[in-house]
Amino acid sequence: MLIRRQGAGLLVRTPAKVNLFLETLARRQDGYHELATLMVAVSLYDSLEFRDDPSGAIGLSCDSPSLPTGADNLVVKAAELLKRQTGHRTGAAIVLRKRIPAAAGLAGGSSDAAATLVGLNRLWRCGLNGAELGELAGRLGSDVAFFLATPAAWCTGRGEIVEPLRLGRPLDVVLACPAIGLSTAEVFRNLIVPSAPQDGVALRRSAEAGEVEEIGRHLFNRLQPVAERLCPAVAGLCGRLAGQGPAGCLMSGSGSTVFALCRCRGEARRVARELAAVREGPGSTRVYIVRSCS
């Protein structure tokens, strides 16, 4: 997360994430699932501008007309939660510029919510510390707390228990985002929790050692087979990426984005170029070359 002053306000750039590992351990009584996941922030950013509003109102505008900006938006929920928690009197005018695709498994909404907590905590001089912000983040959504602990972390619970992890080297990644999104709730509804879950130990060790080939061999996402049944384009994209010979391919989160883990920036450029060369017509796949955040 990158923060800078902009006139009387603040500008925050906040990243997307990919999951190198995602396992479901159990279904919880609250309807969520117990998870174990290794998440990595990558260099695809939304930006949010925050300015004080003396009226006390929380207002959100967005350059993506398809994104609702009312009370159900996570950015608005985050701002209102922070305001209630701290008793702050003024409001905020928030401008969101979207680059992270929605419903794509990249947690753009969660990242925007985390940026709102951090940005307004600073703009309003609330003085909340990291633990206090983390508690609020956990109330907002499963992935929100991760973005307070980037660039990489092992996350458990429903995703809100965050253990920062140091990557052994930067990772070069190609994101392939099909035009069709996937509903996280629908993917989880169709999931069968495994009786013998994967533990992710080998993947964690490889990530900490920076062994790209080993990371590629141990990539895992329990949700991917479900997503492929719901959206065959996910399987097709993963096959096309694998055909380019990267270190590994996987779907991120609950989809629909799939990514190729590459050995270097040059390989990432080649994979992206060859993927983009296939013409799909209107609503074609968006391709991004990114690197793990430092």
Integer Rg of the chain from CA: 19
pTM as predicted: 0.95
Residues in the chain: 294
Query: How confident is the model at residue 127, as a pLDDT?
Result: 97
| Structural tokens at position 127 | 């003085």
Q: What percent of the chain has pLDDT over 70?
A: 98
Q: Which of 64, 175, 166, 60 is nearest to 119 (CA)?
A: 60
Q: Is the peptide bond before 294 cis (omega within 30 degrees of 0)?
A: no
| Structural tokens at position 119 | 């940005």
More confidently predicted of 276 and 205:
205
Q: Which of 21, 16, 8 is nearest to 205 (CA)?
A: 21
Q: What is the mean pLDDT of residues 63-91?
A: 96
- Inform me whether the pLDDT recorded for 282 exceeds 60: no
Average pLDDT, the chain: 95
Domains and CATH numbers, the chain: 2-164 (3.30.230.10), 172-291 (3.30.70.890)
Q: What is the mean pLDDT of residues 191-201?
A: 96
Beta bridge partners of 9: 6
pLDDT bucket at 219, cuts 50 / 70 / 90: very high
> Hey, which residues are catalytic here?
17, 143
| Structural tokens at position 94 | 């928030």
The string of DSSP codes covering the chain is -EEEEETTEEEEEEEEEEEEEEEEEEE-TTS-EEEEEEEEEEEEEEEEEEEEETT--EEEEES-TTS--STTSHHHHHHHHHHHHHT---EEEEEEE--SPTTSSS-HHHHHHHHHHHHHHHHTT----HHHHHHHHHHH-TTGGGGGS-SEEEEETTTTEEEE---SS--EEEEEE-SS---HHHHHHT----SS----HHHHHHHHHT-HHHHHHH-EETTHHHHHHH-HHHHHHHHHHHTT--SEEEE-TTSS-EEEEESSHHHHHHHHHHHHTS---TTPPEEEEEEB--
Query: How confident is the model at residue 32, as a pLDDT?
Result: 87
Cα 268 versus chain centre, distance? 20
Residue whose token pair is 């938006």: 73
Q: Are 284 and 276 in contact (CB under 8 A)?
A: no
Taking only the tens place, the pLDDT of each residue in 7-56 is 999 999 999 999 999 999 999 988 889 999 999 999 999 999 999 999 99
Residue whose token pair is 């990919």: 18
Spatial distance between the Cα atoms of 74 and 64, rounded to a whole number of angstroms: 15
